[in-house]
Structure 1
Amino acid sequence: MRVWQTVFVPSAAEGSPQPVQQQADLVLVFGSIAHFDAPGFATRLAEAFPGAVLAGCSTAGEIVGDGVLDESCTVTAIRFDRGSVAAAEAGIAAIDDSQPAGEALGEALAARPGLSGVLLFARGVAVNGSALIDGLVSRLPAGVPVSGGLAGDGGAFLRTLVLSPSGVSDARAVAVGLYGDGPHLGLGSVGGWEPFGPARKVTQAVGNLLLQLDGEPALNVYKRYLGDYARDLPASGLLFPFELLNGNHDSVGLIRTILGIDEEAGGLILAGTVEEGFYLRLMHASTDGLVDGAEQAGALAAASTVSDAGKAGAGKAAEGDRLALLISCVGRKLVLGDRVEEEVQAVADRLGAGTLLTGFYSYGEIGPMRDLVDCRLHNQTMTVALLTER
C-alpha cells in the first residue's frame, strides 16, 4: 500500500484544489465548505485521479499530520498492492431516509465478495446517524469493521457536504468498501469525558428527540444543571454531553451530544437516538482527560491491527505505508481550544513514525463499541481507523 497527501490552504488554493494527476485506488478528501462549494471541485479531483474512488466530506476542522487546520482541504490518495475498493451512494433528503439509506449502502457493498472493511461518510445535519449505521450494519456480513463520520460545516450546523463518485451533495451518504485479504482496518474509539450528577431515566423519547427525564421535561432538567451556561444553548450543549447508561446504571460506552432544543416540547435534540428505559448522566471534560482518551483510541487501533495480523491465515503486514483516519467531535475541539492539536499529537505519538494522518472534526463519529466489533454512532469521541495492508 502506498499513501501520499496534499494539503491546500485558502491562500494557495482559493477554494479549489488542483492536484497533479496520479494513479490511485481511493482518494479521501476533507475540507471546508468553501472548498467543496468551489466550481469544478469534484471534476478537478476526478481528472487528477482517473479511475479512483472519491470520498470525503466538509468538516469543522481538518486533521493533517499531527496538527489541526481550518478552512483548508486535505487530499489523501491510496494505492493498494493486494486489494480493491468500491463505493456505494444513497440519498438522504430527510431524517426518515436515514435507515433505508444505510440498508441500501450495505446491500450494495455486500453484493460484491471479499468485503473486509467499510468507511462511511454522511451529511451531518438533518440525519439520524444511529439509524443510518443500523441500516448499514444490518446488511453487512457479520464482523466487518466500519468507521467514518458525519460531515461538518465549521460549527454552523446549517449545511454540510459529502463527496462521492457522483460529485458533491448536501443530501447524501457514501460508503467505501475495502475488498480482498490485503486491506485491514484497526479501530479504536474513546471519549475521555467525566460524568457528574445523578443518573436520570429516559421516560419519553422519540428517535433522537429526548422529551422527558424522570417524568420531567428534559430541557428543564438540562437548564437547571447548566446554570449560567443555559443562556448559550444550544451551542453550550457541546460542552455538556450525556453518557448513556443501562438499567444497572453501567455505562454502555456511548455519549450523546445536544445539537438543539425544542422549547415548545421541552425537549433536547440529540446527535443520536436514545431509548426509553435507559438512563442518562451529564458529562464534562478536562483537557488532560480528552488527550488521554485520544491516546487510548490510538493504542486500541494499533493493538487491533497487531492482534488481527497474528491470527491464523491473516498474514504479516506488507511493506508500505500506514494511514490513520482520525475523526474527532467538534465539541472536543471547543473544549480543547488552543490545545486542540495535543489530542492529535497524542495519537500520532502512539502510532509512531511511518503512519500518515488525515481526518476531520465531525458532527458524529462512526466506530466500534468496546468489543471493537459492534459499530455505533458516537459523539464526543476520538475515533481512529488505522488502515494497513497485509
Structure 2
Amino acid sequence: MKAKSIKGDSPQQIAERLNRTISDGFKPTLAIVFLSIKQDREAICQLLDEKGIAIFGATTAGEFIDGDIGEESAAIMLLDIDAAFFKVSFVETGNGHTRDLARQIGEEGLKMFNNPAYIMVSGGISTDGEMIIRGIEDAMGEAVTIFGGMAGDDFTMTGTYVFTNKKCSDNALTALIIDEDRISVKGLATSGWRPVGTVRTITKSKGNVIHTIDHEPALDVVIKYMGVSKDLDGWKDVIVNVGSEFPMQLQREGRDPVLRAPLFANKTDRSLTCAGSVPQGSKIRFSLPPTFDVIDKVVAECEEIKNHDQQNGDAMIMFSCKARHLSLGPMVSDEINQVKEVWDVPLVGFFSYGEMGKATKGKHEFHNNTCSLVVLAEL
C-alpha cells in the first residue's frame, strides 16, 4: 500500500496537486478527505469521484497533513489499497437511534470480512459518540477495533458534516470498514490531562446531558468549582473556559479514566451537554491541562506501539480534539510532527469534537480532549 498526502485552499489547488500526485502512475483507490465547511465539498468530491476514487470524508475544526495546521482548507490522503480490502459505508441517522445505526454498520462489516476494523466519522453536533462505540460492539463484541472522530465546523457550532461519493449530511455516520486480515489497524488514544480536586458524583443525567452534580445544577457546579465567569454565555464560553481547560474524568475501576468535555450549557435548566454519555451515578474528577511534558509522553507511547505492535506503517490518521488544540496552542504542531516522525509515513488529520480509540489500558472507547492516532500497514 502506498499513501500520499496533499492539501490546498481551493478546489483548483486540490485539482492541480491531485494531478501532479498521480502523474507518476500512482493510482489511488481511496481518499481520506478532511476539510473546512467553507470549502466547496461538492467540487472536491467530484474531482475524486471522476477518477474512480472512493471517498471517506468529514468537515473539521482545523485540518493538517503535518504540523502545518490549515484553516478553512482541505487535507487529503490518497491510498492505493486493493478495493477488496475496504468499503466506505454511509448511513443517515435521521430519526433513528445512533446505537442501532452503528450496529447496522457493525453487521455490514461482518458480512464482508471475518475480521473487520472500523474508522468512523460522525456528523451532527449533539450526537452521542458513545453510542457509536456501543452499537458496533453490539454487532462485534468488545474486542473490535474502532478509531475515529466527530466532525467539526470551524468552531462555529452551526453544523458538522460527513460525506462520501455523491452523499453528504449533517446527520450521518460514515465508516471506513477495513479487512484487518489484510490491513493492520493499530493505534492509541492519549490525553495527558491530570485529575484535580475531590471525587464528585453525577446525580442526574440522561445520555450525554448532565443535569446535576452532587445534587446541584451542573452548570453552577462548574462555575463555582472552577472559578470561571458567572457570565458564562453560550456554547463558545463553555468549550473555551471549561471544555478545553477542565474536562471531567469519569473514574472506572481497573481502567484508565475517560474524559468528557461539555459542548453546550443550558442557562435555563443549568444543564451541560457533552459529546459522549455520562451515566447517572458516575464518579468524576475535574482536570488540569497537560504540561509541557505531554508531547514526550505521547511520543513515548507511540514508540512503544511501534516496538511491540506495529513496527512499520504505510499511512497515519490523527483525530485530535479541538479543545486540546485550544489548550496546547502552538505545542500541538510539535506533537503532530513528532508523532509523524515515529513511523515517518504520510499523515492526515483534523481537529474534532470527540475521538474514538484505544487507551494504553482497556478497549476502544469514546473520548474527549484526546489525541487518537491510527497506523495502517498492509500485511
Deviations 1:180-204 (A, max 9, x none): 6220011111110111111101111
Residues 266 and 16 (structure 1 numbering): CA distance in 2 closer, same or farther, change over 3 Å? farther
* Alignment counterpart, residue 368 of structure 1, candidates 355, 358, 363: 358
Task: Name the Cα RMSD after superposition.
Answer: 2.5
Amino acid in the other structure paired with 1:62: E
Residue 79 of structure 2 is aligned to residue 62 of structure 1: no
Residue 29 of structure 2 is aligned to residue 25 of structure 1: yes
**What pairs with 1:237-316 in structure 2 (closer than 5 Å)?**
237-238=242-243, 239-246=245-252, 252-303=256-307, 305-306=309-310
Q: Which range moves more in the overlay, 79-88 or 67-76?
A: 79-88
CA distance in structure 2 between the partners assigned to 1:46 and 1:11 by the alignment: 13
In structure 1, the gaps of 5 or more residues are 310-316
In structure 2, the gaps of 5 or more residues are none
* Alignment counterpart, residue 41 of structure 1, candidates 18, 39, 44: 44
Q: Which residue of 2 aligns with 1:384?
A: 373
Preserved CA contact (<8 Å) 1:192 1:292: no
Q: Which residue of 2 aligns with 1:322?
A: 314
Q: Which residue of 1 aligns with 2:89?
A: 88
CA distance in structure 2 between the partners assigned to 1:291 and 1:371 by the alignment: 19
Deviations 1:338-374 (A, max 9, x none): 332022123123x243x111111100111114446x2
- Give structure 1 regions of 4+ aligned residues with deviation exceeding 6 angstroms: 15-18
Report the alpha carbon displacement of residue 56 of structure 1 after superposing the two structures with TM.
Answer: 1.6
Amino acid in the other structure paired with 1:245: Q
Preserved CA contact (<8 Å) 1:118 1:146: yes
Report the alpha carbon displacement of residue 100 of structure 1 after superposing the two structures with TM.
Answer: 1.7
Q: Which residue of 1 aligns with 2:326?
A: 334
Q: Which residue of 1 aligns with 2:188?
A: 188
Q: Any idea what SS the aligned residue of 1:347 has?
A: helix
Preserved CA contact (<8 Å) 1:17 1:41: no
Preserved CA contact (<8 Å) 1:272 1:377: yes
Residue 112 of structure 2 is aligned to residue 112 of structure 1: yes
Q: Which residue of 2 aligns with 1:103?
A: 103
Report the alpha carbon displacement of residue 99 of structure 1 after superposing the two structures with TM.
Answer: 1.1
Residues 10 and 79 (structure 1 numbering): CA distance in 2 closer, same or farther, change over 3 Å? closer
Q: Please give the TM-score of this superposition, normalised by the length of structure 2.
A: 0.89
Preserved CA contact (<8 Å) 2:5 2:65: no
Residue 348 of structure 2 is aligned to residue 347 of structure 1: no
Deviations 1:31-57 (A, max 9, x none): 11112x444332222113x1x321020
Amino acid in the other structure paired with 1:332: R
Report the alpha carbon displacement of residue 10 of structure 1 after superposing the two structures with TM.
Answer: 4.5
CA distance in structure 2 between the partners assigned to 1:141 and 1:205 by the alignment: 26
Preserved CA contact (<8 Å) 2:6 2:76: yes
Preserved CA contact (<8 Å) 2:110 2:116: no
Q: Which range moves more in the overlay, 229-238 or 121-130?
A: 229-238
CA distance in structure 2 between the partners assigned to 1:69 and 1:343 by the alignment: 15
Residues 82 and 33 (structure 1 numbering): CA distance in 2 closer, same or farther, change over 3 Å? closer
Preserved CA contact (<8 Å) 1:243 1:251: no
CA distance in structure 2 between the partners assigned to 1:39 and 1:12 by the alignment: 13
Q: Which residue of 2 aligns with 1:314?
A: none
Report the alpha carbon displacement of residue 24 of structure 1 after superposing the two structures with TM.
Answer: 2.2
CA distance in structure 2 between the partners assigned to 1:225 and 1:167 by the alignment: 45
Amino acid in the other structure paired with 1:45: L
Q: Please give the TM-score of this superposition, normalised by the length of structure 1.
A: 0.86
Q: Any idea what SS the aligned residue of 1:219 has?
A: helix
